[in-house]
Amino acid sequence: MEDARRLFDEIPVKDVFVWTTLLSGYTNLGDMESAAELFNQMPQKNSISWTSLIGGYAKLGMGHEALQVFRNMNMHQVRPDQFTYSSCLSACAILASLKHGKQIHAYLVRNTIRPSTVVITTIIDMYSKCGNLETAKQVFHFMGNKQDVVTWNAMISALAHHGYGVELMDERHVKKERAISWIEIGNEVHAFTVSDGSHPLKETIYSVLGHLGNQMEDNVSLPKVA
């Protein structure tokens, strides 16, 4: 970041894109003190600038700070985008604040025609972590045939978070989609499909499986043939 800051300082005329690029660099590194200082110095801010700061706070678990920036964003009449909503809903989940979560959900409905799958998944997670499993299920079922692995993973995690095992999913009117499987590792539930290459740790998983396979071949004892 020192080199990036040095290059930034050497640019004679900086537009909002240049400012926001450096801001995103600070938030990605978790340096929110430098990010907030730079944000306050920006002569112009767009929705990406505001969202970058909100997302940085939310990623570090600083829910109060994230929501305060969102309030300031509304005061400046800057229109939020899908990423803004997702970060704010994550902040509500961190704080387990159902009141603020409902407010942001309502704000989203009033101002957005069709929320993305990422936003809907975040809504499910927010309601679950705020103790409102029933509303999380309603949001999930509202998606209908647009449910995918990501939203299934969110719903399964919500059920697990509230102590409902997989054996209760049918009883609770949550049907497992064919060809989707799940496994619980630690306290996190993972959903996957056959030949699924979407998992963020897939390379590590394949490497470990390959290593285990080699070990099994080395240790196997073949029966003697008379």
Residue 182 confidence (pLDDT) above 50: no
For residues 161 and 129, is the Cβ–Cβ distance under 8 A? yes
In the chain, the percentage of residues whose pLDDT exceeds 90 is: 46
CATH 1.25.40.10 domain range(s) in the chain: 1-115
List of long-range contacts for 31-36, beta carbons under 8 Å, 24+ apart: 31/1, 32/56, 32/57, 32/60, 32/62, 32/65
Secondary structure in 3-state letters for 81-104: CHHHHHHHHHHHHHHCCHHHHHHH
pLDDT band at 222 (very low <50, low <70, confident <90, very high): very low
Residue 68 pLDDT: 97
Q: Which residues pair with 193 in a beta bridge?
A: 180
Mean pLDDT of 119-125: 92
CA atoms of 25 and 146, how far apart (whole Å): 34
Residue 210 pLDDT: 63
Mean pLDDT of 132-156: 86
Residue 88 confidence (pLDDT) above 80: yes
Pair of tokens at residue 120: 């809907």
Residue 150 pLDDT: 84
In the chain, the percentage of residues whose pLDDT exceeds 70 is: 72
Residue 167 pLDDT: 46
* Superfamily name and number for 1-115: Tetratricopeptide repeat domain (1.25.40.10)
What is the pTM assigned to this prediction?
A: 0.70
Residue 178 confidence (pLDDT) above 50: no
Assign 130 to helix, strand or coil.
coil
Residue holding tokens 């004679």? Answer: 12
* Window from 26-30, 42-46, 109-113 with minimum mean pLDDT: 109-113
Mean pLDDT of 5-16: 84
pLDDT band at 27 (very low <50, low <70, confident <90, very high): very high
